[in-house]
Amino acid sequence: MTQSPATPLPAPGERRRLREDRSLTQADVATRLGVSRATVRSWESGRSAPRGSKREAYARLLTAEPTQAQAQAQAQAQAQAQVNARQEEIAPELVGAGTGAGTGTGAAREARPAGREERSTGGRKRSARAGERTARALERLAEDADSDPPEPSLTPAQAFDALYAFCAPALVRQAYLLTGRRELARESVERAFQQAWYRWPEVAVDRDPAGWVRATAYEYALSPWHRLRPRYRHPEAPPAGAADRALLDVLLELPPVYRRTLLLYDGVGLGLPETAAETEASTPAAANRVLHAREAVARRLPELASPEALHWRLAELASAERLRAAKPLTVRWYGERRAQQWTRAAIAFTVLLIGVTALTLDTAPDHYEAPLSPPETIHGLPPRAAPGPLSAAELRLRARLRSQEVSGPERMVPEIR
């Protein structure tokens, strides 16, 4: 009995995009497939995958062509997003216009004495000008909503520098809480951003570029191979404060996965599902890790039994150290240089492998050669004597035989007829 192959599904990163393209929420997908919303969330994050009929129905739902109503809803959502973006851009102008109108009329109403019409006239003029500015801003907003979306004005290097300036300082402090080492924290963040620059087309379109870089930095910082490096065999100087030293010691005594989960949930402030997704664990497992980590911290430091107190103490400990990251230009330059070195090493290794293969093919035998049998010793035969010099009698005999070689009586010579 043969088993039919499983229905192929899009990559986990594409599942949410396909769902959003069809204007469907996770609750809608869960209702149509008869599962819970948490199950749909785990499918989209890649922690699990549907099976059987659920897999086929989920694949049909994602790969089906959107209906006309869904296409219209998607177009309306895009137009609304453009309108919201434009509103954010012109919001200062609109707020200033409304404030100026309200201030002008209110000031005229409060400070206008009897018989003074000049201030009331000035207030009406300011109100009219404010109304005109508001009308022009709304007209531009309507025109931008009908036109095509503007092209992005940032280059890849500028977008990378903006992401680095926004995330790098906080990530260095978080990596310090994970490792207790200042140099390793800086190195982890720089390596994460170098990898992000190397894979920038993928990171730039990610839903959470900061989360992508944070997960990469955490993985590098918690790598067990660092203990084999000579520079990381000896501990660094602890923090100056006694309370900071005690908290850092408690954190470093936790297992790495518990330490990472506690930092994401109580330090960074991520939700439990996001923490579980980033640590590649289920939501119940992440919750248990947080509880056990809190109990370990509260056992050593009872004043940090409250999650709020723990959050603020983690922030204070991370801010107490003056940890500075490198410049974004330096990070990009070292990332490009490392990529070039790895590329050259891969090319050299490939050429070496090709040369060794060619040499092996050239020197290898092309036919079968039977192996020689091992030698054996033969017993019972006298040793073979080597010929020595001839004696005088042997020399005379040899001379006589040579002289009678043709006509001697002892030899017969064939006759030619």
What does the domain layout of the chain look like in residue ranges? 12-66, 69-111+122-146, 156-320
Query: Pick from 267, 159, 252: which is nearest to 206 by CA?
Result: 159
Tell me the two tokens of residue 17: 């995009």
- Residue given tokens 């009908």 in the structure block: 146
What is the torsional sign of CA 177, 181, 184, 190? positive
Between the CA of residue 142 and those of 74, 86, 87, what are the distances in Å? 19, 9, 10
Q: Report d(CA 153, CA 342) in Å as an integer.
A: 32
- Residue given tokens 């060619």 in the structure block: 358
Averaged over 289-305, what is the pLDDT? Answer: 91
Tell me the two tokens of residue 413: 């010579």
pLDDT, mean over the chain: 77
Reduced to 3 states (helix: H, G, I; strand: E, B; else coil), residue 390 is: coil
For domain 12-66, the CATH architecture is Orthogonal Bundle (1.10)
Res 127: pLDDT:
47
Q: What is the pLDDT of residues 344-367, one digit of tens each?
A: 999 999 999 999 999 999 888 888
> What is the model's pTM?
0.50
The torsion angle over the Cα atoms of residues 115, 116, 122 and 125, rounded to 10 degrees, is: 0
Q: What is the pLDDT of residues 97-139, one digit of tens each?
A: 333 333 333 333 333 344 434 444 454 454 455 456 555 654 5
Res 260: pLDDT:
92
Averaged over 62-77, what is the pLDDT? Answer: 61
> Do the beta carbons of residue 21 and residue 74 sit within 8 Å?
yes
Q: Report d(CA 293, CA 287) in Å as an integer.
A: 10
Answer with the residue of higher pLDDT: 76 or 60: 60
Q: What is the pLDDT of residues 235-262, one digit of tens each?
A: 788 888 888 889 989 999 999 999 999 9
Reduced to 3 states (helix: H, G, I; strand: E, B; else coil), residue 37 is: helix
Q: Report d(CA 334, CA 196) in Å as an integer.
A: 12
12: exposed, middle or buried (Cβ count in 10 Å: 0-12, 13-18, 19+): middle
> What contacts 60, CB < 8 A, 6 or more positions away?
none
Which helix (H) or strand (E) segment is 358 a member of?
Answer: helix 328-363
Tell me the two tokens of residue 141: 């907003």
- The tally of CA atoms less than 13 A away on the side-chain side of residue 406 is 1
Q: What superfamily would CATH give domain 156-320?
A: PhyR, sigma-like (SL) domain (1.20.140.160)
- pLDDT band (50, 70, 90) for residue 80: low
Q: Report d(CA 210, CA 327) in Å as an integer.
A: 17
